[in-house]
Amino acid sequence: MLTQIKAILARSQGTLIEDAIGVASLFSLLIVGLYLPALV
């Protein structure tokens, strides 16, 4: 199972960074959306 995970990470190295950036941007939008009503 560990070798399969390593193989998947090796194949998807290029998109892994893009996915991490996407997750970070969605999380930041969620935080801003939750705090926005308190600021208004």
Q: Which amino acid is at 24?
A: A
Q: Which amino acid is at 4?
A: Q
Q: Which amino acid is at 25?
A: S
pLDDT of residue 11: 87
Reduced to 3 states, what is the DSSP secondary structure of residue 40? coil
pLDDT of residue 32: 94
Can you state the percent helix, strand and coil of the chain, rounding each to 5?
90, 0, 10
1-40 confidence digits (pLDDT tens): 899 988 888 888 889 889 999 999 999 999 999 998 887 7
* pTM, full prediction: 0.62
